[in-house]
Amino acid sequence: MCGSLMAAEVRTFVVSDSGEFIPIESCGISFSRDRRIQGAIEFCVDGVQIFGRNDIDTIDALWSLILTYLEHFIAGEGGVLNFPERSFMLDLKRVSGGNVVVKFVGRDEKRTALSREKAVLGALASGAVEFFSAVLNSSPKEEWSYRRDLGAAVRLHEEYPYIE
């Protein structure tokens, strides 16, 4: 991934039983909060991979936490996002000029990028809409919380449309 040097990009994958990474839009897996389905988000900012396929976690819980974290970030509240099952951390810091520093700390590595805040928030919001839409398409009767998260993602996406 990480093709563009001036954008933020997000793709979500589910890890199959055989260990294959399947794009969320074509996985067809039935989701439920208690299934603890593993997956990964490829998140690139200005050509830097912030997190990727090696950063696997419970994918629905991670996207829910990302949405909550973004809501707090937009409200001006500090803090970092800790992944649900792994010792990974995401931190966004506003800097001058409408930019944001995006920092990931994992195992023994740190990845940092600087980009336009609207591009970063727009990409994450777009990724969340795509994820929760796919979850509800494959699991239409499941979990009111998925519908709540999709609603939150859509509102965020309306406020921060994806900018390439």
Quick one: which H or E segment has residue 82?
strand 81-82
User: pLDDT tier at 79 (50, 70, 90 boundaries)?
Assistant: confident
Q: Is residue 124 within 8 Å of residue 116, measured between CB atoms?
A: no
Q: What is the pTM of this model?
A: 0.90
Q: Is residue 48 part of a domain?
A: yes
Total structural domains within the chain? 1
User: pLDDT tier at 5 (50, 70, 90 boundaries)?
Assistant: low
pLDDT tens digits for 97-109? 999 999 999 878 8
Q: DSSP 3-state assignment of 53? A: coil
The two tokens of residue 124 are 């994450």
Q: Is residue 75 part of a domain?
A: yes
Q: What is the pLDDT of residue 42?
A: 96
Q: Is residue 54 within 8 Å of residue 6, measured between CB atoms?
A: no
Matching residue, tokens 């990480």: 2
Q: What is the pLDDT of residue 78?
A: 76
Q: Is residue 24 part of a domain?
A: yes
Domain limits for position 33: 8-159
Residue 5, burial from CB neighbour count under 10 angstroms (0-12, 13-18, 19+): exposed
pLDDT tens digits for 138-161? 876 667 888 899 999 999 899 887
> What CA–CA distance (Å, rounded) separates 30 from 35?
9
pLDDT tens digits for 15-56? 988 889 999 998 888 887 778 889 999 999 999 999 899 888
